[in-house]
Structure 1
Amino acid sequence: MTWGWRKLLAIRNMVRPFIWKSIGSGSETNAWSDIWCDLGPLRKFITPRIIANAGFHLQSSLADIVSPNGQWRWPIAWYNLFPVLINLIPPSIRENVRDRLVWKDLEGNTCHFTSWEVWNSIRIHDNKVNWVNMVWFKQCIPKHSFHIWLVIRNKLKTQDRLSVWEAGSETNLKLMCCPLCCFDRDSRDHLFFECSFAAQVWNNVRTMTNMEHVNGEWSDIMTWMEQNVSLKKPDNVISRLVVAAASYFVWQERNNRLFTRRQRTALVVAQEIITTVRMRILNFKFKRRFEKRSLMEKWKIPSSNMEIEPD
């Protein structure tokens, strides 16, 4: 059995409550094991022995337990044994109409089956954060957005987190220092962008955005992001791209120095950030009424990227 199939089988119990049978003739629906009513599979509370004693078998279809006049065929005594059956109304049996599988979402609505719908139904749901549109947006660079999501959640394997896990010997932990500035342990707030090296990078790239007034403290950057979360202007989009790219390449430089001993100057890292963001911007189309032409000049955006508006 392949890895993929093993993973699919492992989530059977999570997926099963959302797969229902839409009843037609009832002949293709197992009366006890399929989900066709709000009670779920009847085998949850009706045992195989009780089913057999009533004259049915485990393979009985729904059509087998509903009489032609639309009444249940199971014993009256079942209503005393299982009171939940009292309010269970027999489904309308339609001859020559096939039963079919349907997907029901979290609200109980029948919907078209898609992998997205499955994921949305089985994933862990939480309250929507106010910075979501600053990380995930149409023009984003996916790997940068994923990285800054880790940064915001403080999930990067920085030295301050490793020390909490007590990874390595006590001596090695005491020798830890930021690979970029060689001063103190690195942490999320230190790397973005209080570290002297990272601060140089940030100061070089923030002049290319509308964030000149935002210093290198992560709390100030988060405040700016939350205040501008609903803005979709090109200068705002560019600023989001720069923040994500800056955090991505600073982290990349940190890892290069830590694991490969390769080093670049802050100016080289800043230039790579600008080049990467510019390549993304070249795919944009700007309205001719866009006022901040100085921003376009900074990023060397050609006039061909100006969209002609209809009269």
Structure 2
Amino acid sequence: MDQFARISGLHINAFKSSIFASGQTVTPMLNEAERLGIKAGKLPVRYLGMPLTTKALSKQEYEPLTDQVRGRMLAWRNKCLSYAGRLQLIKSTHKAKVAWEDLCCPLEEGGLGIRKLHYSSKVFALSLIWRIISKKSSMWGGCKKFLDLEKAVKASVASISSGRLIDITGAVGTCYLGIARDARVCEAVTQAQWSVRRHRIRHFHELHARIQREPVPDDQQGQDVILWNHSDDNFKPWFCSARTWDQIRQKKATVLWNKSVWFTQGVPRFSFIVWLAVRNRLSTGDRMRAWGIHQGCLLCGERDETRDHVFFVCPYSFTVWDKLANRLSGNRTDPDWTTSLQFLSANNLQIMDKILLKMVFQTTIYHLWQERNRRRHQTGHRTVDQTVRVIDKAMRNRISSLRYRADHKFTGLMQRWFEV
């Protein structure tokens, strides 16, 4: 105890402490504790709500803890969560609807914009390297233990107009050109000339000629300028985490529907349901069959419930969609899901009509899926006209909440919605 106090500066109050011991050789320990005035306790004892014993806990002893966890989970109402809270709930779900790889990419590539910790840690490490190289007067730049790292980094970024040497020649190029892997640029110069070995291979012969055409570093022309690569042939004198992350991550193809799902006037929870629908990850009947559950369409009675059927082959859903979007789309509503999504992503409508069409699309998807779940859980059902009125009210509420100024270009959204 005295040694612990000397090292940490923390002193144990013997009158407020108790010691719990078990085994056959605890008598000397208990005698010493009694001498110091520390009370000897007996096991089992409850600590932080859990019993401490010398044996493994039984299932019955874990029940109070599991009951508390179950109660917390049941009280976690989805409707009480914000959009960020719902996202956290999705990430913590044991059986994810969407693969983690698909979530961790930007919105324009079909993901949710979540950044992988693996790539984020790389960005932080590169940020540290940038500080080491660029800020000589800082603590990082003055630490001698980072000098070897700084030297290696300078060698890795050494390049000519055609690109980095290590990328052009590969690892074997350092031997062919006679340049050490950790050499700096100044070490490849002798008497104001490039000191690079010639080679008989045609590729290296041409590379040698290109290197000789590069200007030789000259101290009289000023100090070197340290730049960071922000994109292809775009170097800046500062570090950018977002640009660096975008370069090191694994990229995917851009999807055409991302602006139809994620836009300023959209409702986040509506957009998320549409995103799941676009990726075909809603729990429709065809997907539930894999779990041993047979589910037909609850809106029209069709035996095979699929995403394409619910939106909008089903007579119920298409009638709702056609009543709300027919005039807005110029009589071009279609029951086919792919056709509707393509028209939503690329059309020649006026800007207000485009926004209203995207808003009514995601609002319709959300409330149709809600109506489908109401019927599945036997909590009531609505007629087509009732569903149309609910969607219309949701549209008016959303437009009213935008609160555009009088001189804003989207001030007439509500008036346009009443017209169509």
Which range, TM-score by smaller chain?
Answer: 0.5 to 0.7
Residues 1:155 and 1:79: Cα distance change in structure 2 (over 3 Å): same
Deviation per residue, 1:89-126 (Å, 9 max, x gap): 445525352442412424x3336764554565556464
Q: Which residue is 2:204 aligned to?
A: 82
1:33-112 → structure 2 map (5 Å cutoff): 33-37=156-160, 38-42=162-166, 45-47=170-172, 50=175, 54=178, 57-69=180-192, 71-77=193-199, 82-83=204-205, 84-89=207-212, 90-93=214-217, 95=219, 97-106=223-232, 108-110=233-235
Q: What secondary structure, in the 3-state scheme, does the structure 2 residue paired with 1:87 have?
A: helix
How far did residue 242 of structure 1 move?
A: 0.6
Residues 1:88 and 1:206: Cα distance change in structure 2 (over 3 Å): same
How far did residue 63 of structure 1 move?
A: 1.5
* Structure 2 residue corresponding to 1:187, chosen from 283, 299, 306: 306
How far did residue 247 of structure 1 move?
A: 1.0
Calculate the aligned-residue CA RMSD, in Å. Answer: 4.8
For residues 101 and 8 of structure 1, the distance between their equivalents in structure 2, rounded to whole angstroms, comes to: 21
Which runs of no fewer than 5 residues in structure 2 stay unpaired? 1-114, 135-146
Give the partner amino acid of 1:265. R
Percent identity, aligned pairs only? 20
Residues 1:10 and 1:214: Cα distance change in structure 2 (over 3 Å): same
How far did residue 190 of structure 1 move?
A: 1.4
For residues 369 and 157 of structure 2, the distance between their equivalents in structure 1, rounded to whole angstroms, comes to: 51
For residues 408 and 188 of structure 2, the distance between their equivalents in structure 1, rounded to whole angstroms, comes to: 70
Residues 1:102 and 1:120: Cα distance change in structure 2 (over 3 Å): same
Q: What secondary structure, in the 3-state scheme, does the structure 2 residue paired with 1:88 have?
A: helix
User: TM-score under structure 1 normalisation?
Assistant: 0.62
Aligned residues: 272
* Structure 1 residue corresponding to 2:265, chosen from 126, 139, 160: 139
Residues 1:281 and 1:159: Cα distance change in structure 2 (over 3 Å): same
Give the partner amino acid of 1:75. R
Question: Which has the higher relative contact order, 1 or 2, with Cα contacts under 8 A spaced 6 or more apart?
Answer: 1
Which runs of no fewer than 5 residues in structure 1 stay unpaired? 300-311
- Out of 186-195 and 85-94, give the one that drifted further: 85-94
Residues 1:104 and 1:66: Cα distance change in structure 2 (over 3 Å): farther
How far did residue 57 of structure 1 move?
A: 4.8
Deviation per residue, 1:204-232 (Å, 9 max, x gap): 6448x625845561366457536734520
* Structure 1 residue corresponding to 2:321, chosen from 195, 202, 205: 202
Residues 1:218 and 1:41: Cα distance change in structure 2 (over 3 Å): same
Q: Which has the larger radius of gyration?
A: 2
How far did residue 286 of structure 1 move?
A: 6.6
1:290-305 → structure 2 map (5 Å cutoff): 295=416, 297=418
* Structure 1 residue corresponding to 2:366, chosen from 232, 239, 248: 248
* Structure 1 residue corresponding to 2:382, chosen from 265, 269, 276: 265
User: TM-score under structure 2 normalisation?
Assistant: 0.48
Does 2:399 match 1:281? yes
